[in-house]
Amino acid sequence: MKRRSFIQAIASTFPAQALSRTISAPDFSAINVPNGNYQPGRIVNEYTALLPGEKELLEEKIEVRGINAELQTVDVSLPEKRTLTASQTVHGWKLLAILPWHNGTATAVFEKHVTHRGALAFISADRELARIPKYVGHLRKIRPRQTNTLHGLKFERPAKFIPGPDTLGEYILQSSEDPCYENVAALGPEYTGWTLVSDDGVGGMRSLWLEPDGKTRQFGADPENLWAPDVNGRLFDPSRLLALPYLYAYVPGYSKRTMLGGYLPAADIGVWNPQTGLGYEVMMVLSGAGERKPIARVRAILPADQSGAFREFPDVTAPSIADGEMDRYWNGTAAEFYDSLLGLWQRWNDFFDRGTQVEIPDEWLSNAAKGGIVLSRCSYRGLEPSYQIGEGGYTKIPERSHALFPVAHYEFVWAQQLWNLAAQVEPHFQHYLSQYILPDGNFLYCTQDQVEAPLNTGVFLQNSARAYDYTGDTAALRERLPVLRRMIGFVMKRYEYAKARFPGNDPRHGLIWGSPEADNGSTSDDTPDSHSYYYQNAAWIWRGLKEHGRCLQRAGKDEADPALAAEGQQISELAQQVRTDIERSLQLTLESRNAEMKGAGITPFAAFDVSRKLSQLSSYENHRYMMDWWTADWGNSELDEGHLRHRALAGLEILGMNVARDKIYGADSGSLLTANFMEHGTLAARIRSSDYRPFLLTLYSNLCYAMDSGNSFAPEDALLPGGFAGEGVAWNWSPVVNSVLQPTMGLRWLLCWEESDRDIIHLQKAAPKHWFQGGNRIVVKNCPTRFGAISWSTESQVIRGTNTWNITLQLSTSATFQADIVVHIHAADDQLLRTTNLGRIEKNSVVIPATSLVGKSKIHLQGTS
């Protein structure tokens, strides 16, 4: 049964009165949804939107003919020739500062704003050093995220949560549009988080969080703050820099929180007061010097009848006033601020230039993907791991407990590998293995406060295999091997125990005993009988062994090392035996399900999980156990779909996200949350489907509701919708590594997804159809796969009423690329592909067999739809 038909069918299993009281919305029949095709309500993405002509304004060439650092003047041509001093403006470009000695070159810093955005240009007399995009534009345009509930459906918190069908999700999926920010975000209020100020390896305790109004969460170092915080206040408070701060008082919602440049660990926050018609902007960076001190700039619109006196402080510069605006700097000079910012931009650009580079029509999504990597790397203390982003409830120094969460570290490594940063993350990977795997092969995390799922060993094995696939670094592989052998030995003892204790007709025979999740495990009760025997533990151990065995055989062949190849062969045979045992167990459990589970095709979580009602689904089963099953990629689509059916029947999905009602808020509470730290499991399941739109729905819903859409603040458990940092208990709103990396992994899979057990690579598998509108481009460079790196560009045009597309593929291994490449084209007008000059057409994709790639490094595809 097709997915949409199935959803419509199961909706009938819910009582009509329950449908009218669901979190999502009433039944479609009760609202104004037109028959046939319809367009959902849309809003503008004000983070990246450019009005006609604004792109050209921000890209305008500025020619600097000379810089006099002593006189603080700049000779420019824009296009007329002018000599400017600080704060003067020409063609909307304001000279902010002169850096007398940035890497030996005098550099002028200019700034310009348009409606929703802006730019900072760093230009020397020789060349332009950088043009950093800003996502705060005219301050008067700042407002709460708008809604556009065109057909009466709204995403809002009810007085009481009653599980029901994902009506909101189906509203988007049944429309004529693919899910995107503009139609998903239009349904409800945004999540409001804090903005991080940090840098690579700085760690949580030396980072700063800024609240929506720009104040730091941290208080100053003055001892008087302990008894008089209302007098001395936060470490940084922008109101201290304003003459009449009461005129700028923060009105909830009127804050635009962004990362400078879209993904730098530097804050750019705009605040607007709609009552007074005034606003200000806060920008903050850490200095590049050894002390890594924070430096801030405040830009503020001045009242027309400005008469207030600016207060003087030893750590604040005198105000610079021009054109009705004030600029002032805290804890450093303007030159120090911009010199630090330019250095930050250059270093992070260099970092990403060594990885995969992406140009897509959705700049906002691309920024979020990079932002996740940046935030997570900034939270590591050097090579020391972290679960918490910045300083917060999960910060542990020295590292222990949640800082050592294996799930966080494996995703930290995994996500960067997918972005061709395997070499850059290898030191972190090896450090964790060397420092936090015990002599018996268990995770050190497991001997402290909690016991984590043994499945993590399988993920670490896959990460190791992927590292070799993408880099070919045999030395790094050999360094990992002694630890990986201990880890394999640890889980194999549990596997052999289950085989020895339980006969072959017992479904526990050949499974892996252990905790399914840290919160459900205890060091005082870690025995073979403490938990059910969960299939995601077994499936991931099989997957890890399979990939590890394949990797060692490949490395043995590459290095002409028969011992390594023999070890790989032995592990591959072990993986096959594990697979056989799991298959036998699954068959026994599936056959033993009660009639209700069988009729609905519900997939069991564990041995003896055979008797339950369709609506019975615990939070951990929803947000963790099925996620781990999906990421293991067992290869049985019916079992994958069984978990999705279970979620739908239990009514625990909203806009494609897993949801749960947390018990701490009471059974009758309307509080609803999504544990998005494992949502990559849902994404992994849905990228394998032939229907790409549910993948997009989950991805965009997470970005629009489970994280701050501007600064990528992503809590472990986001209260939906309209949550905010500080709401509820600490573990709900604590931002964590896994959560911020959801867009990072999601965008990579959207663009390039490798099938696990077949030699097939899918390009653009989940690219939305509006990306293929005439004039749009998709460009990906240096995307790693286990078959070699691949680069490609897709350009779409409409020629004489016909959709045409031109694709250029560049392969790194010209001798042979041993995988079929499937290029997906989702025509903007929903037409199927008609012609191609290479390969064969299969509905909305072109399949290029590996045999067509032999000896080729560059391939050109052309076709129409």
Give pLDDT tens digits for 316-333.
Answer: 999 999 999 999 999 999
**Distance between CA atoms of residues 731 and 715, nearest Å:** 8
Query: What pLDDT, on a 0 to 100 scale, did the predictor assign at position 30?
Result: 54
Q: What is the pLDDT of residues 613-653, one digit of tens each?
A: 999 999 999 999 999 999 999 999 999 999 999 999 999 99
By C-alpha distance, which of 139, 145, 144 is closest to 278? Answer: 139
Residue 21 has pLDDT above 50, yes or no: no
Residue 667 has pLDDT above 60, yes or no: no
Architecture of domain 758-864: Sandwich (2.60)
Query: What pLDDT, on a 0 to 100 scale, did the predictor assign at position 767?
Result: 98
| Separation in Å, CA 743 to CA 239, 261, 575, 748, 793 | 34, 17, 31, 8, 21
Residue with tokens 């399949």: 847
Question: How much is the pTM?
Answer: 0.94
Exposure of 494 in the CB half-sphere (CA atoms within 13 A):
27
User: 537 is written with which tokens?
Assistant: 């533990």
Q: What is the pLDDT of residues 296-311, one digit of tens each?
A: 999 999 998 877 889 9
* 581, 589 contact by CB (below 8 A): no
Query: What pLDDT, on a 0 to 100 scale, did the predictor assign at position 307?
Result: 75
| Separation in Å, CA 211 to CA 195, 222, 237, 271, 309 | 7, 20, 10, 11, 26
Which residues on adjacent β-strands are paired with residue 842?
A: 845
Query: What pLDDT, on a 0 to 100 scale, did the predictor assign at position 524?
Result: 85
Q: What is the pLDDT of residues 88-104, one digit of tens each?
A: 999 999 999 999 887 77
Percent of the chain beyond pLDDT 90?
80
Residue 231 has pLDDT above 90, yes or no: no
**Distance between CA atoms of residues 738 and 278, nearest Å:** 38
Domain-wise residue ranges, the chain: 54-134, 195-348, 358-749, 758-864
2 pLDDT tier (thresholds 50, 70, 90): very low
Q: What is the pLDDT of residues 594-612, one digit of tens each?
A: 999 999 999 999 999 999 9
Mean pLDDT value across residues 135-143? 98
Amino acid at residue number 772: F
Return the axis-axis angle of helices 363-379 and 406-418, rounded to nearest 10°. 130
Q: Could you write out the three-class secondary structure of 192-229?
A: ECCEEECCCCECHHHCEEECCCCCECCECCCHHHHCCH
By C-alpha distance, which of 205, 2, 87, 10 is closest to 648? Answer: 10
**261: which residues sit within 8 A by CB, 6+ positions away?**
132, 133, 134, 345, 348
> Please, what's the b/e burial string for 270-295 (b: 16 or more CB within 10 A of its CB; e: otherwise)?
bbbbeeeebbbbbbbbbbbeeeeebb
Q: Could you write out the three-class secondary structure of 658-703?
A: ECECCHHHCCCCCCEEECHHHCHHHHHHHHCCCCCHHHHHHHHHHH
**828: which residues sit within 8 A by CB, 6+ positions away?**
769, 770, 772, 773, 774, 796, 803
User: 427 is written with which tokens?
Assistant: 């030191």
**Of all helices (H) and strands (E), which one includes residue 584?**
helix 562-592
CATH 1.10.510.10 is right for the domain spanning 358-749: no
Pairing state between β 278-286 and 267-273? antiparallel
Mean pLDDT of the chain: 92
Query: What pLDDT, on a 0 to 100 scale, did the predictor assign at position 722?
Result: 95
Residue with tokens 């693919």: 178
State whether residue 260 is helix, strand or coil.
helix
Exposure of 858 in the CB half-sphere (CA atoms within 13 A):
2
Q: Could you write out the three-class secondary structure of 741-810?
A: CHHHHHHHHHHEEECCCCCEEEECCCCCHHHHCCCCEEEEEEECCCCCCEEEEEEEEEECCEEEEEEEEE
**Distance between CA atoms of residues 539 and 686, nearest Å:** 18
* 49, 678 contact by CB (below 8 A): no
More confident: 280 or 666: 280
Q: Could you count the other beta carbons within 10 Å of the beta carbon of residue 45?
A: 19
User: 864 is written with which tokens?
Assistant: 């129409």
* 111, 93 contact by CB (below 8 A): yes
374 pLDDT tier (thresholds 50, 70, 90): very high
32 pLDDT tier (thresholds 50, 70, 90): low
**Of all helices (H) and strands (E), which one includes residue 589?**
helix 562-592
Tell me the torsion sign for CA atoms 559, 561, 562, 567: negative
Does residue 79 have a cis bond before it (omega within 30 degrees)?
A: yes
Mean pLDDT value across residues 552-581? 98
User: 345 is written with which tokens?
Assistant: 């931009």
Mean pLDDT value across residues 257-271? 98
**445: which residues sit within 8 A by CB, 6+ positions away?**
401, 404, 405, 406, 436, 452, 518
Mean pLDDT value across residues 476-501? 98
Query: What pLDDT, on a 0 to 100 scale, did the predictor assign at position 670?
Result: 66
Residue 119 has pLDDT above 60, yes or no: yes
Residue 798 has pLDDT above 90, yes or no: no
815 pLDDT tier (thresholds 50, 70, 90): low
Residue 221 has pLDDT above 80, yes or no: no
By C-alpha distance, which of 238, 12, 226 is closest to 139? Answer: 238
Query: What pLDDT, on a 0 to 100 scale, did the predictor assign at position 803?
Result: 86
Query: What pLDDT, on a 0 to 100 scale, did the predictor assign at position 531?
Result: 95
**Distance between CA atoms of residues 533 and 511, nearest Å:** 6
Query: What pLDDT, on a 0 to 100 scale, did the predictor assign at position 105?
Result: 86
- Residues found in the chain: 865
Amino acid at residue number 138: H
Residue 491 has pLDDT above 70, yes or no: yes
DSSP characters over 595-661: HHHHHHTPPPSBTT-----TT---HHIIIIIHHHHHHHT-S-HHHHHHHHHHHHHHT-EETTEE-B-
Residue 230 has pLDDT above 70, yes or no: no
